[in-house]
Structure 1
Amino acid sequence: MSHARDPLQPGTSLYYAFQTAPVARRAPLADWIRWWHEVSAIPIAVQDAGVAEKKLHWWIQEIQAAQAGSPSHPLTQRLRPGTDEAPPVALWNTQLLGLISQLGQGRWLDEVARASHALETTGAATEGAAWLLGVRSEAGLRAARELGRPLRQAHQLARLGQDARIGLLHVPISTLQAHDVKAHELLRPQSSAPANWPQLLAHLQGTTSQELEAFHGQVRQLSQAERTALTPMSVLADLQAALIATINRQGDRVLHERIMLTPLRKWWISAWSRRRRS
Structure 2
Amino acid sequence: MSPDEYCQNKAAQSGSSFYYSFLFLPPERRKAITALYAFCREVDDVVDECTDPSVARMKLAWWRGQIEQMFKGHTEHPVMQALAPHVQAFDITEKRLDAVVDGMEMDLYHDNYPDWPGLEKYCWHAAGVVGEMSAGIFGYKRPETLVYAAKLGLAFQLTNIIRDVGDDARRERIYLPLEDLARFNVTVDEILDRQYSDRFVALMKFETERARQCYREAMLALPEEDRRAQRPGLLMAAIYHTLLDEIERDNWQVLDQRISLTPIRKFWLAWKTWVSGGRGLTRRLSH
- What residue number does 2:136 align with? 131
Task: Tell me by how many angstroms 1:83 deviates.
Answer: 4.7
On the 8 A contact 1:9/1:15 being kept in 2, the answer is: no
**What one-letter code is carried by the residue in structure 1 that aligns with 2:234?**
S
RMSD: 2.1
Name which of 24, 27, 38 aligns with 2:28.
Answer: 24
**What one-letter code is carried by the residue in structure 1 that aligns with 2:204?**
L
Against the structure 1 CA distance between its residues 253 and 275, is the aligned structure 2 distance closer, same or farther, given a 3 Å change threshold?
same
Q: Give yes or no for the alignment of 1:44 onto 2:44.
A: no
SS in 1 for 2:174: coil
Against the structure 1 CA distance between its residues 202 and 83, is the aligned structure 2 distance closer, same or farther, given a 3 Å change threshold?
closer
Task: Tell me by how many angstroms 1:252 deviates.
Answer: 4.5
How many Å separate the matches in 2 of 1:127 and 1:60?
19
- What residue number does 1:200 align with? 203
On the 8 A contact 2:151/2:215 being kept in 1, the answer is: no
Q: Give yes or no for the alignment of 1:95 onto 2:100.
A: yes
The one-character-per-residue Cα deviations of 1:197-253 (angstroms, maximum 9, x if unpaired) are 22112111111112112212212x241xx2112101111112111101111111242
- What residue number does 1:69 align with? 73
The one-character-per-residue Cα deviations of 1:181-211 (angstroms, maximum 9, x if unpaired) are 1111111124xx1231221121111111121
How many percent of aligned residue pairs carry the same amino acid? 24
Query: Aligned ranges for residues 143-162 of structure 1 at < 5 Å?
Result: 143-162=148-167
On the 8 A contact 2:151/2:217 being kept in 1, the answer is: no
Task: Tell me by how many angstroms 1:10 deviates.
Answer: 8.7
Structure 2 residue runs without a partner (length 5+): 1-5, 279-287
**What one-letter code is carried by the residue in structure 1 that aligns with 2:154?**
R
On the 8 A contact 1:130/1:141 being kept in 2, the answer is: yes
Query: Number of paired residues?
Result: 270
On the 8 A contact 1:143/1:215 being kept in 2, the answer is: yes
The one-character-per-residue Cα deviations of 1:15-70 (angstroms, maximum 9, x if unpaired) are 22222323331111111111111112222221111111111111111111111111
**What one-letter code is carried by the residue in structure 2 that aligns with 1:45?**
E
The one-character-per-residue Cα deviations of 1:142-182 (angstroms, maximum 9, x if unpaired) are 22122111111111211110111110112110111111111
- What residue number does 1:247 align with? 247
Task: Tell me by how many angstroms 1:11 deviates.
Answer: 5.5
Task: Tell me by how many angstroms 1:267 deviates.
Answer: 2.1
Taking structure 1 as the reference length, what is the TM-score of the superposition?
0.90
SS in 2 for 1:253: coil
Q: Give yes or no for the alignment of 1:267 onto 2:267.
A: yes
**What one-letter code is carried by the residue in structure 1 that aligns with 2:103?**
G
On the 8 A contact 2:138/2:232 being kept in 1, the answer is: no
Q: Which structure is higher in helix share?
A: 2
